[in-house]
A = this chain, B = another copy of it.
Amino acid sequence: MAKIKVGVLGATGNVGQRFIQALDNHPWFEISALAASERSAGKKYGDVADWKIGTEIPESVEDIEVVTIDPKNIDADIVFSALPADLAMTIEPAFAREGFVVASNASSFRMEEDIPLAIPEVNPDHLDLIDVQKKNRKWDGCIITNPNCSTIMMAVTLKPLLQFGIENINVATMQAISGAGYNGIYAMSIYDNVVPYIGGEEEKIETETLKIFGEFDGAKVKNAPFKVSASCNRVPVIDGHTEAVWATLKDNPKPETVRDAFLKFDPGLSHLPTEPKHPIIVRDELDRPQPRLDRDMGKGMSVSVGRIREGIRYVALGHNTIRGAAGASVLNAELLKEKGYL
Protein backbone atom coordinates (compact mmCIF):
# COMPACT_ATOMS: atom_id res chain seq x y z
CA MET A 1 0.00 0.00 0.00
CA ALA A 2 1.38 3.40 -0.95
CA LYS A 3 1.75 5.74 1.97
CA ILE A 4 -0.34 8.87 2.23
CA LYS A 5 1.66 12.03 1.55
CA VAL A 6 1.64 14.55 4.33
CA GLY A 7 3.00 18.05 4.75
CA VAL A 8 3.93 19.94 7.87
CA LEU A 9 3.21 23.67 8.08
CA GLY A 10 5.45 25.49 10.52
CA ALA A 11 7.91 22.63 10.42
CA THR A 12 10.87 24.28 12.12
CA GLY A 13 9.28 25.25 15.45
CA ASN A 14 8.84 23.31 18.65
CA VAL A 15 5.56 21.63 17.68
CA GLY A 16 6.69 21.27 14.08
CA GLN A 17 9.63 19.21 15.27
CA ARG A 18 7.28 17.06 17.32
CA PHE A 19 5.17 16.48 14.19
CA ILE A 20 8.25 15.26 12.36
CA GLN A 21 9.13 13.01 15.26
CA ALA A 22 5.58 11.59 15.28
CA LEU A 23 5.62 11.02 11.52
CA ASP A 24 9.10 9.50 11.27
CA ASN A 25 8.74 5.87 10.17
CA HIS A 26 4.95 6.18 10.32
CA PRO A 27 3.36 3.09 8.76
CA TRP A 28 0.62 5.00 6.91
CA PHE A 29 2.03 8.48 6.32
CA GLU A 30 5.15 9.81 4.70
CA ILE A 31 6.39 13.36 4.79
CA SER A 32 6.35 14.90 1.33
CA ALA A 33 6.69 18.56 2.22
CA LEU A 34 8.03 20.72 5.02
CA ALA A 35 6.87 24.32 4.94
CA ALA A 36 8.16 27.24 6.96
CA SER A 37 8.82 30.94 6.71
CA GLU A 38 10.62 32.71 3.86
CA ARG A 39 13.75 32.74 5.94
CA SER A 40 14.05 28.96 5.84
CA ALA A 41 12.62 28.30 2.38
CA GLY A 42 14.98 26.91 -0.21
CA LYS A 43 17.30 25.45 2.38
CA LYS A 44 17.68 21.92 3.68
CA TYR A 45 15.55 21.19 6.72
CA GLY A 46 18.59 19.88 8.58
CA ASP A 47 20.33 23.21 8.10
CA VAL A 48 17.51 25.45 9.32
CA ALA A 49 15.59 23.39 11.83
CA ASP A 50 17.68 24.12 14.94
CA TRP A 51 16.56 20.72 16.20
CA LYS A 52 16.05 20.98 19.94
CA ILE A 53 14.24 17.80 20.98
CA GLY A 54 17.29 16.02 22.36
CA THR A 55 17.28 13.22 19.79
CA GLU A 56 19.04 12.94 16.46
CA ILE A 57 17.14 14.70 13.70
CA PRO A 58 15.51 11.96 11.58
CA GLU A 59 17.61 11.19 8.50
CA SER A 60 14.47 11.05 6.38
CA VAL A 61 13.91 14.81 6.70
CA GLU A 62 17.44 16.13 6.97
CA ASP A 63 17.80 16.78 3.26
CA ILE A 64 14.25 17.84 2.43
CA GLU A 65 14.20 21.32 0.95
CA VAL A 66 11.94 23.57 2.96
CA VAL A 67 9.22 25.39 0.99
CA THR A 68 7.19 28.48 1.83
CA ILE A 69 3.75 27.94 3.29
CA ASP A 70 1.78 28.02 0.04
CA PRO A 71 -0.59 25.35 -1.28
CA LYS A 72 1.12 25.53 -4.66
CA ASN A 73 4.38 24.30 -3.18
CA ILE A 74 2.96 21.25 -1.52
CA ASP A 75 2.07 17.86 -2.91
CA ALA A 76 0.20 16.12 -0.09
CA ASP A 77 -3.21 14.81 0.89
CA ILE A 78 -3.13 16.21 4.37
CA VAL A 79 -1.15 18.96 6.02
CA PHE A 80 -0.44 19.16 9.73
CA SER A 81 -0.48 22.72 10.97
CA ALA A 82 1.87 23.82 13.74
CA LEU A 83 1.27 27.46 12.82
CA PRO A 84 0.74 30.20 15.39
CA ALA A 85 -2.91 31.22 15.69
CA ASP A 86 -2.64 34.49 13.79
CA LEU A 87 -1.05 32.89 10.72
CA ALA A 88 -3.31 29.87 10.90
CA MET A 89 -6.31 32.17 10.64
CA THR A 90 -5.69 32.88 6.95
CA ILE A 91 -3.39 30.09 5.84
CA GLU A 92 -5.44 27.11 6.96
CA PRO A 93 -8.57 28.13 5.02
CA ALA A 94 -6.38 28.74 1.98
CA PHE A 95 -5.19 25.14 2.15
CA ALA A 96 -8.68 23.77 2.79
CA ARG A 97 -9.98 25.68 -0.21
CA GLU A 98 -7.31 24.06 -2.37
CA GLY A 99 -8.49 20.63 -1.36
CA PHE A 100 -6.13 19.80 1.49
CA VAL A 101 -7.27 18.19 4.68
CA VAL A 102 -5.79 20.45 7.36
CA ALA A 103 -5.21 18.83 10.75
CA SER A 104 -4.49 21.81 12.92
CA ASN A 105 -2.99 22.29 16.32
CA ALA A 106 -3.74 26.03 16.21
CA SER A 107 -6.51 27.55 18.27
CA SER A 108 -7.88 29.74 15.48
CA PHE A 109 -10.81 27.61 14.34
CA ARG A 110 -11.37 25.29 17.29
CA MET A 111 -14.57 26.97 18.41
CA GLU A 112 -16.10 27.40 14.94
CA GLU A 113 -19.46 25.70 14.76
CA ASP A 114 -18.72 23.56 11.72
CA ILE A 115 -15.14 22.65 12.52
CA PRO A 116 -14.47 19.52 14.52
CA LEU A 117 -12.57 19.81 17.78
CA ALA A 118 -11.72 16.18 18.22
CA ILE A 119 -9.91 13.69 20.42
CA PRO A 120 -10.27 10.19 18.97
CA GLU A 121 -10.73 8.56 22.38
CA VAL A 122 -13.35 11.10 23.44
CA ASN A 123 -15.53 12.36 20.61
CA PRO A 124 -14.61 10.52 17.41
CA ASP A 125 -18.05 11.20 15.94
CA HIS A 126 -17.36 14.93 15.88
CA LEU A 127 -15.01 14.40 12.95
CA ASP A 128 -18.15 13.96 10.84
CA LEU A 129 -18.69 17.69 11.21
CA ILE A 130 -16.44 17.73 8.16
CA ASP A 131 -19.46 16.95 6.01
CA VAL A 132 -21.33 19.93 7.43
CA GLN A 133 -18.24 22.09 7.02
CA LYS A 134 -17.69 21.19 3.37
CA LYS A 135 -21.30 21.93 2.56
CA ASN A 136 -21.20 25.26 4.42
CA ARG A 137 -17.91 26.49 3.13
CA LYS A 138 -17.80 24.93 -0.32
CA TRP A 139 -14.26 23.79 0.32
CA ASP A 140 -12.73 20.81 -1.43
CA GLY A 141 -10.67 20.19 1.65
CA CYS A 142 -11.46 20.80 5.28
CA ILE A 143 -10.05 21.79 8.65
CA ILE A 144 -10.06 19.60 11.71
CA THR A 145 -8.57 20.66 15.03
CA ASN A 146 -7.36 19.15 18.24
CA PRO A 147 -7.88 20.92 21.56
CA ASN A 148 -5.40 22.94 23.52
CA CYS A 149 -2.75 20.86 25.32
CA SER A 150 -4.11 21.39 28.83
CA THR A 151 -7.65 20.63 27.66
CA ILE A 152 -6.67 17.32 26.11
CA MET A 153 -5.12 15.80 29.25
CA MET A 154 -8.24 16.56 31.25
CA ALA A 155 -10.74 15.62 28.54
CA VAL A 156 -9.25 12.15 28.08
CA THR A 157 -9.69 11.50 31.80
CA LEU A 158 -13.23 12.94 31.91
CA LYS A 159 -14.48 10.59 29.22
CA PRO A 160 -14.75 7.53 31.53
CA LEU A 161 -16.34 9.77 34.19
CA LEU A 162 -19.21 10.79 31.91
CA GLN A 163 -21.16 7.75 33.07
CA PHE A 164 -21.28 9.17 36.60
CA GLY A 165 -22.84 12.45 35.50
CA ILE A 166 -20.36 15.33 35.44
CA GLU A 167 -21.75 18.43 37.14
CA ASN A 168 -18.78 20.65 37.75
CA ILE A 169 -15.04 20.65 37.17
CA ASN A 170 -12.39 22.70 38.92
CA VAL A 171 -8.90 22.26 37.59
CA ALA A 172 -5.58 23.78 38.60
CA THR A 173 -2.87 23.21 36.01
CA MET A 174 0.90 23.14 36.45
CA GLN A 175 2.11 23.50 32.90
CA ALA A 176 5.47 22.96 31.28
CA ILE A 177 7.70 25.62 29.76
CA SER A 178 7.72 24.00 26.32
CA GLY A 179 4.02 24.77 25.99
CA ALA A 180 4.91 28.39 25.30
CA GLY A 181 7.19 27.50 22.40
CA TYR A 182 10.97 27.52 22.47
CA ASN A 183 11.19 31.28 22.84
CA GLY A 184 8.06 31.79 24.87
CA ILE A 185 9.41 32.22 28.39
CA TYR A 186 12.52 33.90 29.73
CA ALA A 187 14.63 31.92 32.16
CA MET A 188 14.52 34.78 34.67
CA SER A 189 10.70 34.56 34.62
CA ILE A 190 10.28 30.94 35.58
CA TYR A 191 13.40 29.63 37.32
CA ASP A 192 12.83 29.14 41.08
CA ASN A 193 9.34 30.45 40.37
CA VAL A 194 5.72 29.77 39.47
CA VAL A 195 3.81 32.06 37.10
CA PRO A 196 0.12 31.80 37.98
CA TYR A 197 -1.11 32.97 34.60
CA ILE A 198 -1.04 31.76 31.00
CA GLY A 199 -2.72 34.07 28.53
CA GLY A 200 -5.99 32.66 27.18
CA GLU A 201 -5.39 29.25 28.68
CA GLU A 202 -8.18 29.22 31.23
CA GLU A 203 -10.73 30.32 28.65
CA LYS A 204 -9.57 27.54 26.32
CA ILE A 205 -10.01 24.79 28.89
CA GLU A 206 -13.34 26.17 29.99
CA THR A 207 -14.87 26.49 26.53
CA GLU A 208 -13.16 23.73 24.57
CA THR A 209 -14.09 21.07 27.09
CA LEU A 210 -17.78 21.87 26.70
CA LYS A 211 -17.60 21.60 22.91
CA ILE A 212 -15.64 18.34 23.05
CA PHE A 213 -18.22 16.74 25.32
CA GLY A 214 -21.11 18.33 23.41
CA GLU A 215 -23.68 16.23 21.64
CA PHE A 216 -23.37 16.08 17.87
CA ASP A 217 -26.69 15.42 16.15
CA GLY A 218 -25.33 15.30 12.62
CA ALA A 219 -25.82 19.01 12.08
CA LYS A 220 -24.30 20.76 15.03
CA VAL A 221 -22.68 20.29 18.41
CA LYS A 222 -24.63 21.24 21.50
CA ASN A 223 -22.32 22.18 24.35
CA ALA A 224 -22.07 19.86 27.32
CA PRO A 225 -24.19 21.00 30.27
CA PHE A 226 -21.54 21.04 32.99
CA LYS A 227 -19.21 23.84 34.12
CA VAL A 228 -15.42 24.04 34.06
CA SER A 229 -13.41 26.51 36.14
CA ALA A 230 -9.66 26.60 35.57
CA SER A 231 -6.65 28.13 37.27
CA CYS A 232 -3.58 27.84 35.06
CA ASN A 233 0.02 28.01 36.23
CA ARG A 234 3.40 27.74 34.61
CA VAL A 235 5.97 25.76 36.59
CA PRO A 236 9.68 25.05 36.02
CA VAL A 237 9.23 21.79 34.11
CA ILE A 238 10.46 21.22 30.56
CA ASP A 239 7.70 18.95 29.25
CA GLY A 240 4.51 17.55 30.73
CA HIS A 241 1.40 19.24 32.07
CA THR A 242 0.18 18.18 35.53
CA GLU A 243 -3.42 18.90 36.49
CA ALA A 244 -5.20 18.74 39.84
CA VAL A 245 -8.83 18.02 39.04
CA TRP A 246 -11.98 18.23 41.20
CA ALA A 247 -14.85 16.50 39.44
CA THR A 248 -18.27 16.87 41.04
CA LEU A 249 -20.18 13.82 39.86
CA LYS A 250 -23.92 13.30 40.19
CA ASP A 251 -23.66 9.62 41.17
CA ASN A 252 -21.09 10.39 43.80
CA PRO A 253 -18.99 7.32 43.05
CA LYS A 254 -16.29 6.12 45.41
CA PRO A 255 -12.65 6.61 44.45
CA GLU A 256 -12.35 2.86 43.82
CA THR A 257 -15.22 3.01 41.36
CA VAL A 258 -13.58 5.90 39.54
CA ARG A 259 -10.28 4.04 39.51
CA ASP A 260 -12.05 1.05 37.93
CA ALA A 261 -13.58 3.29 35.30
CA PHE A 262 -10.13 4.64 34.41
CA LEU A 263 -8.68 1.15 34.28
CA LYS A 264 -11.44 -0.23 32.08
CA PHE A 265 -11.36 2.68 29.68
CA ASP A 266 -10.87 1.26 26.20
CA PRO A 267 -11.82 3.46 23.27
CA GLY A 268 -11.14 0.58 20.87
CA LEU A 269 -8.54 2.40 18.83
CA SER A 270 -5.57 0.13 19.29
CA HIS A 271 -5.36 -0.40 15.54
CA LEU A 272 -4.37 3.25 15.04
CA PRO A 273 -0.55 3.46 14.89
CA THR A 274 -0.22 6.41 17.25
CA GLU A 275 -2.74 5.14 19.82
CA PRO A 276 -0.86 3.94 22.91
CA LYS A 277 -1.58 0.58 24.47
CA HIS A 278 -3.11 2.41 27.44
CA PRO A 279 -4.60 5.82 26.66
CA ILE A 280 -5.09 6.17 30.41
CA ILE A 281 -2.52 4.73 32.81
CA VAL A 282 -3.56 4.44 36.45
CA ARG A 283 -0.75 4.96 38.96
CA ASP A 284 -1.41 3.65 42.43
CA GLU A 285 1.70 5.07 44.09
CA LEU A 286 0.99 7.84 46.56
CA ASP A 287 3.06 10.37 44.64
CA ARG A 288 2.46 9.72 40.96
CA PRO A 289 2.01 10.76 38.21
CA GLN A 290 5.01 13.07 37.91
CA PRO A 291 5.99 14.88 34.72
CA ARG A 292 9.64 13.82 34.45
CA LEU A 293 8.79 10.19 35.11
CA ASP A 294 5.49 9.79 33.30
CA ARG A 295 5.35 12.22 30.37
CA ASP A 296 6.92 9.77 27.93
CA MET A 297 4.64 6.85 28.72
CA GLY A 298 3.05 5.36 25.60
CA LYS A 299 5.61 7.31 23.55
CA GLY A 300 4.15 10.46 25.03
CA MET A 301 0.56 9.56 24.09
CA SER A 302 -0.68 8.08 27.38
CA VAL A 303 -2.37 10.23 29.98
CA SER A 304 -1.41 9.13 33.49
CA VAL A 305 -3.77 9.55 36.44
CA GLY A 306 -3.28 9.06 40.14
CA ARG A 307 -4.23 10.19 43.61
CA ILE A 308 -7.89 9.38 43.06
CA ARG A 309 -9.56 10.56 46.26
CA GLU A 310 -12.93 11.45 47.66
CA GLY A 311 -14.24 14.51 46.02
CA ILE A 312 -13.68 13.18 43.38
CA ARG A 313 -10.19 14.59 43.18
CA TYR A 314 -7.35 13.25 41.08
CA VAL A 315 -4.18 14.23 39.26
CA ALA A 316 -3.83 13.90 35.47
CA LEU A 317 -0.66 14.25 33.45
CA GLY A 318 0.42 14.07 29.83
CA HIS A 319 3.10 15.21 27.43
CA ASN A 320 2.02 18.62 26.24
CA THR A 321 3.75 18.74 22.86
CA ILE A 322 3.04 15.09 21.98
CA ARG A 323 -0.32 14.01 23.47
CA GLY A 324 -1.24 17.66 23.77
CA ALA A 325 -0.25 18.80 20.29
CA ALA A 326 1.51 16.96 17.45
CA GLY A 327 0.52 13.45 18.52
CA ALA A 328 -3.09 14.56 18.96
CA SER A 329 -3.22 15.86 15.38
CA VAL A 330 -1.61 12.76 13.94
CA LEU A 331 -4.04 10.53 15.85
CA ASN A 332 -6.93 12.56 14.47
CA ALA A 333 -5.53 12.08 10.98
CA GLU A 334 -5.29 8.34 11.51
CA LEU A 335 -8.92 8.21 12.54
CA LEU A 336 -9.84 10.31 9.50
CA LYS A 337 -8.13 7.80 7.28
CA GLU A 338 -9.94 4.95 8.93
CA LYS A 339 -13.25 6.74 8.50
CA GLY A 340 -12.46 7.13 4.82
CA TYR A 341 -11.93 10.87 4.76
CA LEU A 342 -8.34 10.46 3.57
A residues neighboring B (CB under 8 Å): 14, 52, 54-56, 170, 172, 174, 177-178, 182-197, 199, 229, 231, 233, 235-238, 242, 244, 246, 286-297, 306-307, 311, 313, 315
Contact = CB atoms under 8 A, between A and B. Distances in A.
Contacts of A288: 196
A238 B292 CA distance: 10
A292 B244 contact: no
Contacts of A289: 196
A192 B194 contact: no
Nearest to A281: B56
A244 B185 contact: no
A174 B235 contact: yes
Contacts of A178: 188
Interface centre among A290, A294, A315 (most CB of B within 10 A): A290
Contact of A231 (B172, B196, B237): B172
A231 B287 CA distance: 12
A311 B229 contact: yes
A296 B186 contact: no
Contacts of A306: 196
A315 B196 contact: yes
A292 B190 CA distance: 9
21 contacts: A54-B295, A170-B246, A174-B235, A182-B189, A184-B186, A184-B188, A191-B236, A192-B292, A193-B290, A193-B291, A193-B293, A194-B237, A196-B242, A196-B289, A196-B307, A196-B315, A197-B286, A231-B244, A231-B313, A231-B315, A233-B244
A332 to B, nearest CB: 24
A196 B290 contact: yes
B194 A191 contact: no
Contact of A56 (B246, B297, B311): B297
A199 B246 CA distance: 19
A287 to B, nearest CB: 4
A205 to B, nearest CB: 13
A191 B196 contact: no
A171 to B, nearest CB: 9
Contacts of A172: 172, 231, 244
B229 A246 contact: yes
Contacts of A233: 174, 242, 244
B311 A188 contact: no
